[in-house]
Amino acid sequence: MVKYGLDYTRCRWILPLLLGLGVIFGIIALVGWGWLESVTYPRRHQASLWHSCIKYDDERGWECDSLMKYPWGKAAAGTFLVGYTILIICFALAIIAFAINTLRFNFIRGIGGLLFVAATFSIMGLVIYPVKFTSTIKLEEDEICMFSWSYGFAWTTAIMEICLGFFFCCLPLYEDQILGNVKPFERYYY
C-alpha cells in the first residue's frame, strides 16, 4: 500500500474511511445506554454517559437520575465530547487532504497530531467515568458493575484515534516512495 496504494484512487480513501468508522463508533458510544450495567435480584441498574437508571422487578418503571448534576459527570462527558469533536474535525481535514490530487504531507502529519490530542481527551473521559461512578453512585453491597457494549465502543473510538494518529504521523516519512521520487535499488553483480 505504501508504494502504490495512495496513488490508486480506491485505496486513497482507506484512511478517511477508518476515521469515519471512528466517528460512527463515537456516535454509538454517546447515545448508547450500555456504559455500566448490573443485575442483582430484584434490582437492575443501567447507566449511560448521561443518566443512571434503576428498575425493580415489580411493576414500577425505570427511575432515572441525571449524571450531569455531578461535577465528575460533566467532566467525563465534556472531555469525551471534546475528543469526539476533534475526531470529527480530523475526519473533515482528512477528506480535504486526500481529495486533492497532490497529497499535502505536512497537512497529514498535523491530522495525526490532532488525533493524539483527541485520544488524550477521550481517554481522560473514559477513565473519569467508571472511577467516579462507582465511588459516587450508591450501589447495593453485593452489586457488581460491568462495563457494557456502549463503553466498549467508546474505547474502540479512543484506540482508533491512537492507531490512526500513528499512521497519519508516519505516512509523510514515505513521501518520496509514494510520489515515485526514489530510484529503485539495483544490485550489480560482476
Q: Which three cell numbers stand for residue 48?
A: 449511560
Burial of 1 (0-12, 13-18, 19+ CB in 10 A): exposed
Per the prediction, the chain carries an average pLDDT of: 81
Task: Report the CATH number at residue 146.
Answer: 1.20.140.150
Is residue 9 within 8 Å of residue 1, measured between CB atoms?
Answer: no
Quick one: pLDDT at residue 39?
A: 75
Q: What is the pLDDT of residues 136-190, one digit of tens each?
A: 877 666 677 788 889 999 999 999 999 999 888 877 665 555 555 556 666 656 6
Within-domain flag for 165:
yes
Q: Tens digits of per-residue pLDDT, 87-137?
A: 999 999 988 887 776 666 667 888 999 999 999 999 999 999 888 888 887
- Statement: residue 1 has pLDDT above 50: no
Question: Confidence band (pLDDT; 50, 70, 90) for 56?
Answer: confident
| Domain that includes residue 31, residue range | 11-179
Q: Residue 15 falls within a domain, yes or no?
A: yes
* Total domains in the fold of the chain: 1
Number of H helices, E strands in the chain: 5, 5
Radius of gyration of the chain (CA): 22
Q: What is the pLDDT of residues 65-98, one digit of tens each?
A: 888 999 999 999 999 999 999 999 999 998 888 7
Higher pLDDT, 41 or 121: 121
Neighbours of 122 (CB within 10 A): 29
- Whether the CB-CB separation of 121 and 24 falls below 8 Å is answered with no
Residues in CB range of 135: below 8 A, 6 or more apart: none
Closest C-alpha among 181, 175, 151, 139 to residue 38:
139
CA–CA gap between residue 133 and residue 185 (Å, rounded): 58
* Residue 109 included in any domain: yes
Q: Does 53 fall in a domain?
A: yes
The verdict on residue 184 lying in a domain is no
Does a structural domain hold residue 186?
A: no
Q: Is residue 2 assigned to a domain?
A: no
pTM here is 0.82
Domain membership of residue 85 (yes or no) is: yes
